[in-house]
A = this chain, B = another copy of it.
């Protein structure tokens, strides 16, 4: 036995994403954002996408391209942070935005990856974040039902991958990536380095390749990956 090889080409793997797909996108600010996969998705132009991401990147990079192209029907996000374009699109009604508390978004995605139906939490209870949510009583306490979030596709950025899809992340580029890498029917990884099987020690693997469908090596890091001088 040997572990299966999932390494493939950028174009093909993005071409498998249909219009209307729900797409998890890794990253918290710049670190961990799969810019290479996103740029190809912007180039291919799939439409009616529902994106799930911590933030909307900054203007001129990452999912901002998709928003500006009109490829995004809805964005599920914890904050729009530094992206004035996204805020303007939301305010004009061109972009539907659903806000989620940051840790609850992480847990909803993780619950999807763990094959659970939902989590029960009191986060946001008695605030407007609770509006419209199912409430369950548990030992006399009201808890919000936060449904698991699974997607058609996850776009993941890793520092190192092997051909089976075992992944390691760098520093705070980890963030949502390992959670999202568990929570989609088709998990697509871009890696800064593709090492042979055995190149990642079993204890150093942060996402087992059993969750991963496709691995693409980034040929050259584009400038978005660099330091942002604000």
Contact = CB atoms under 8 A, between A and B. Distances in A.
A120 B121 contact: no
A168 B122 CA distance: 32
A87 interface: no
Q: How large is the interface on A (under 10, 10 to 19, 20 to 34, 35 or more residues)?
A: 20 to 34
Given A111-B119, A116-B121, A117-B120, A145 B138 contact: yes
Q: How many copies does the complex hold?
A: 2
- In this complex, the member of A114, A116, A139, A168 whose beta carbon has the largest number of chain B beta carbons within 10 angstroms is A116
Interface string A36-67: 00000000000000000000000000000000
A134 interface: yes
Contacts of A185: none
B122 A143 contact: no
A171 B204 CA distance: 10
A226 to B, nearest CB: 20
A147 B134 CA distance: 17
A114 B145 CA distance: 15
A195 to B, nearest CB: 15
A107 B118 contact: no
A156 to B, nearest CB: 17
A93 interface: no
A120 B122 contact: no
B118 A143 contact: yes
Contact of A117 (B121, B134, B168, B170): B121
A170 B121 contact: no
Contacts of A136: 136, 145
Nearest to A115: B121
6 contacts: A117-B120, A117-B143, A118-B143, A119-B119, A119-B120, A170-B203
Q: Which 8 A-B pairs have the closest CB atoms?
A: A117-B120, A118-B120, A117-B143, A116-B119, A116-B121, A136-B136, A117-B138, A119-B119
Interface of A: 107, 111, 114-122, 134, 136, 138-139, 141, 143, 145, 147, 168-171, 202-204
